Structure 1
Amino acid sequence: MDPRNTNDVKKTSILDPYKSYIKARMEEGYLNAVVLFDEIKAQGYPGQIRLLRSFMEPLRPVVSTKATLRYETASGKQACLIGKTLCMSCYYLIKQTLFNR
Structure 2
Amino acid sequence: MGQRSVRRRIMIWAATLLAAYLALAYFAAPEFWTFRDRGFRTHRFEMLTHTPQGIPGDPINVGLVGTQKEVVHAFAVAGWDTADAVTLKTAIEIGESVLFDHPYP
Q: Shared fold by TM > 0.5?
A: no
Greater CA radius of gyration, 1 or 2?
1
- TM-score, normalisation: structure 2: 0.21
* Structure whose residues are more often helix by fraction: 2
Higher relative contact order (CA 8 A, sep 6+): 1
